Structure 1
Amino acid sequence: MFRGASFAWISGAALALSLTAGGPALAQVLEIGDDGAVTTYAGPAVYTAQGAAPILPPEPSTAQTAPPEEVVRLIRESSVRHAVPAEVVEAVAWQESRFNNAAVSSKGARGVMQLLPKTASDLGVDPGDLRGNIDGGAAYLAQQLRRYGGDLRLALAAYNAGPGAVDRHRGVPPYAETQSYVRAILARLSATQAVGARAE
């Protein structure tokens, strides 16, 4: 017989056969119907008395979420005013708040761009005002891009952890939150560019 084989009856007429070899276990399930027809399932599936159905993988976390029209318009205006690509401002807004101007973090950061009170004050904007929040976020991004010579990774890290942390570590700080933050935004930008390329 098969080494490491296991058998299980699924609903009277269906037989599941799983063969394992050294390493991760991979299963192939054979469903034998009442009429003798054999169906093979090679991926994950749910098995019931009515038969089997494949389990579909979840959507990737970088799936595009469209911002509200007013947010899009304000992002475009602010990106022109502060010479920051609109796609970058949009990706930061998505990561920070999912475009929710009512969002407030545990540290008191507010709005679409999650501006801290001191940052908003330094920039001369009202963090509760949608236009002011987006314009302040774009201005702060522009400051960080200038500070780090156009290095987007460092500018994003500074937006999240503060420029002091980036300067101390001479690069993206070794904080899990900041590293995940930078990766997520770069992945969204990459996905946005891929969608744009397909549309052309």
Structure 2
Amino acid sequence: MAGRTILPTLLVAALLLVARTAAADIFSYTDERGVIHYTNVPSDSRYQVVLAAPRNEDARPAPIVPINETVLQKAERYAPLIEEAARASSIEPALVRAVLVVESGGDPKALSPRGARGLMQLMPETAKRYGVSNVFDPQQNISAGSRYLRDLSDRYRNDLQLVLAAYNAGPTAVDQHGGSIPPLKETLDYVPRVLGIYHHLRDLAHGE
């Protein structure tokens, strides 16, 4: 039961602080139960820097999608579609759901200033690549997003940090930085936010 209390507080609330911070290093430690904790304000010596914030003032600002229990519940309505798409793509449902939550907050009509659309915030070229005819259709959008995550997982040998960095910034950006997370504020915020929610959802699924 302790894990269920710790995770929403330290993984969701703390990650929101990261998303709202103009420039903040991201710290992490794994406790004795194997639970990973993230914060941008380390409280003791166990925390180590896992992602350093960029010092470039021209870095792109991250779009803020408030993550709370209401948003998680809103995304829950798409659970059957997520399960189906994840199974077809051999991707963990918790990962698909975490990406969906951070990308759109469960809004099927979400549209970013850069043109990303729908629940999984597909760019037009990505939607076209996976044969999406209606990017705002939840089934098509989730299916394409899951397939994209599968392809990125294969490309980066299941390294979740690189998979998520590529989903956010594009594979070209990851490759141009030597197969590492690009030093973009948005991407540095995005990766731990998704990972935090992913671990939270996995623990809930396993009753922890």
2:75·2:97 contact (CA, 8 Å) conserved in 1? no
Q: Which has the higher strand share?
A: 1
2:113 matches 1:102 = no
Counterpart in the other structure of 2:174: 166
Rg (Cα) greater in structure = 1
- In the superposition, the TM-score normalised over structure 2's length comes to 0.64
Runs of 4+ in 1 over 3 A off after TM superposition: 61-64, 67-70, 193-197
Which residues in structure 2 correspond to 1:1-200 (within 5 Å)?
Answer: 60=13, 61=16, 63-64=68-69, 65-125=72-132, 126-170=134-178, 171-197=180-206, 199=207
Counterpart in the other structure of 1:22: none
How much does 1:127 deviate?
1.1
How much does 1:193 deviate?
3.2
CA RMSD of aligned residues (A): 1.9
User: Aligned in 2, Cα 1:161/1:68: closer, same or farther, shift over 3 Å?
Assistant: closer
Structure number with the bigger relative contact order (C-alpha 8 A, sep ≥ 6) is 2
- In the superposition, the TM-score normalised over structure 1's length comes to 0.66
Gaps of 5+ in 2: 1-8, 17-66
Instruction: Count matched residues.
Output: 142
2:73 alignment partner, SS class = coil
2:75·2:101 contact (CA, 8 Å) conserved in 1? no
